[in-house]
Structure 1
Amino acid sequence: MTDAEPSTTVVVVTWRGAAHVTACLDALAAQSRPHRTLVVDNASDDGTAALLAAHPSKPEVLRLRRNTGYAGAMAAALAKVDTPLMAWLNDDAVPAPEWLATCEDTLAEAPLAAAVSARLTLADGTVQSTGVRLTADGHGADLPNADGEIFGFCGGAALLNAEALRSVGGIPASYFCYYEDTDTAWRLRLAGWDVVRAAADVTHRHGASTRPGSVRFHLWNERNRLLTLVRCAPSEMAVRQLVKFAALTLVLPLRGKPAAPNFRLSLRCRVLAAVVVRLPRTLVERRAIGRRAALGRGAVWEAWAGI
């Protein structure tokens, strides 16, 4: 690769993104660092395809035959990435002109790191995420402050070493969306890689394609958290959280009307059913992750859970 060739393929996943994808592409066209732009269109039916074809930056487009979610689209894109680095970017995100340059430089200055998390800010100026922490019960949670180290990256705007990503098993396409970033960061940590944050600014519309708080949001979020624990956490922690989730679900009818949407009995039963169906395959994946790991699951958990 010559100096003139880009180091990064920026992957933008879109689904019915006609209302906001143009702003994202305009911001990518204004980046100070050369790059390749690959848009994965999850079978949009709202005119997105025409907007992509007409955009003056002429992005490469991979149009999928069905909606595979953020995780499925990113997994499909990884097979098309031929640069050393792969950026993840939501279609409702607008990166500042120095976003990519800052991320690339930050990664170059951290030779043990395989991923960089950008700083996502909402339209009202509120910082949404500078990275992800791992809670004591195995949730991936956005860190709005820039103090200390981060466990993982926020998939809304991040830069990854493509070869490191492939070496830990790529992206969990079956997740559809949510927790694909936490799961990926966890596997990178197990393989001995670091994840760092960068002062690389991105304005994020947040929730333009999926509605946070909806039934589907909670279904994917809760299911994928439990699957990530089975794949990556120490066995006793994964079992404990599965049992806790099931036990709480069983007593819900005795507690009256749930206070939060994710405590609806029907939703939690669907989550448990989905986890049970996927459990045999997930256990196979757990063994593969363990074979690739350079660090023990317990060591990573003790270093990061609840910090």
Structure 2
Amino acid sequence: MVVVTWRGREHIEACLNALKAQDRPHRTLVVDNASDDGTAELLRDVEVLRLNKNLGYAGGISAAVRHVGTEFVAWLNDDAAPEPGWLGALEDALDGHPGAAAASSVLLTPAGAVQSTGVRLTHDGHGADIDRESEQVFGFCGGAVLLRTDVLREVGGVPAHFFCYYEDTDTAWRLRLNGHEIVPARSARVRHLHGASTEPGSWNFHLWNERNRLLMLLRCAPAAVAARQLAKFAALTAVLPLRRSRPDALNFSVRLRLRVLGEVLIKLPGSRRAGTSARRRAVWARWAGQTW
């Protein structure tokens, strides 16, 4: 069980208490991303991997996986509080599907509304939460998921350089490119505050989302899809200054979009392409644009 925290003093105790109430034995490892708000004082009774700087959620999970020796590894946000049977439901889902490498949870708002039962792949390559029960999911929300540890390592682990966002959908892509399934576990339920450690709608939120979606497609999608989406992003960036009006959202900021393009180009030479061209096309054809 890996819990990544950064300045989580206000909510991590609820997470840890919920883990203590699980009905399956497990080891909990908390990754503290150099918190400076007193979070460390609340972690005296758990195993902690303290990082010297904030590596984000992706970097924290990546650092922790090197210390995991169990068959399964769970990722859990520090603002998520699982119900008592959560871990058992995830383990049962994987035990019941030997070909599956990951089991997705049902994430709920504090009021009980469904946030996510898994992730679908849109026609333009976004990862989008499925907010209803579904027989199929392309991927999982990384805020609460269980994976087979050996398979996660075989497909390259977690993309630490993503920092935050899309590390889960990128991982799901690589699992599927290597022939593995991902299953939903409907009785694995988690209350999730969502955005407690990040600020949805902020500059960094849009920077990470836009950049990491493009990097994910360059790493995993068919070459034509990745090239088309990168070109589309660049073209819109080029014409935005010529428009008399444009949306107020920060993801339409020319400065932010130029930053995204710069970071994508810098990271492009090191992007690993997973799977064969035929396999990438097959995964895209099966999953892109499905709504269920």
Q: Report deviation, 1:15.
A: 0.2
2:73 counterpart of 1:82: no
Cα offsets for 1:201-234 (capped at 9, x unmatched): 1000000000111000000000000000000000
2:147 counterpart of 1:160: yes
Cα offsets for 1:257-278 (capped at 9, x unmatched): 4312211111111101110111
1:257 and 1:22 map into 2 onto residues whose CA distance is: 46
1:272 and 1:44 map into 2 onto residues whose CA distance is: 30
Partner of 2:116: 129
Mean Cα deviation higher: 147-156 or 158-167: 147-156
Partner of 1:192: 179
1:261 and 1:174 map into 2 onto residues whose CA distance is: 22
Partner of 1:7: none
1:79 and 1:33 map into 2 onto residues whose CA distance is: 23
1:194 and 1:255 map into 2 onto residues whose CA distance is: 44
1:249 and 1:91 map into 2 onto residues whose CA distance is: 35
User: Which amino acid counterpart does residue 247 of structure 1 have in structure 2?
Assistant: A
Partner of 2:40: 49
User: Which amino acid counterpart does residue 298 of structure 1 have in structure 2?
Assistant: R
Helix, strand or coil at the partner of 2:43: helix
2:258 counterpart of 1:281: no
Does the 8 A contact of 2:62 with 2:159 survive in 1? yes
Partner of 1:3: none
Partner of 1:301: 284
Structure 2 gaps of 5+ residues are none
Q: Report deviation, 1:94.
A: 0.3
Partner of 1:101: 88
Helix, strand or coil at the partner of 2:67: coil
1:281 and 1:50 map into 2 onto residues whose CA distance is: 38
User: Which amino acid counterpart does residue 219 of structure 1 have in structure 2?
Assistant: L
Partner of 1:216: 204
Partner of 1:270: 259
Partner of 1:13: 4
Partner of 2:57: 70
Q: Report deviation, 1:147.
A: 2.1
2:182 and 2:212 map into 1 onto residues whose CA distance is: 21
Paired residues, number: 288
2:245 and 2:107 map into 1 onto residues whose CA distance is: 35
Query: CA, structure 1 residues 63+220, in 2 after alignment: closer, same or farther (shift >3 Å)?
Result: same
Does the 8 A contact of 2:117 with 2:134 survive in 1? no
1:242 and 1:158 map into 2 onto residues whose CA distance is: 30
Helix, strand or coil at the partner of 1:70: helix
1:225 and 1:160 map into 2 onto residues whose CA distance is: 22
Structure 1 gaps of 5+ residues are 1-9
Q: Report deviation, 1:295.
A: 6.5
Q: Report deviation, 1:294.
A: 10
Q: Report deviation, 1:123.
A: 1.0
1:257 and 1:23 map into 2 onto residues whose CA distance is: 45
Normalised by the length of structure 1, the TM-score is 0.92
User: Which amino acid counterpart does residue 89 of structure 1 have in structure 2?
Assistant: L
Q: Report deviation, 1:148.
A: 2.9
Cα offsets for 1:164-210 (capped at 9, x unmatched): 00000000000000000000000000000000110211000000000
Matches for 1:242-257 after TM superposition, within 5 Å: 242-257=230-245
Helix, strand or coil at the partner of 2:104: strand
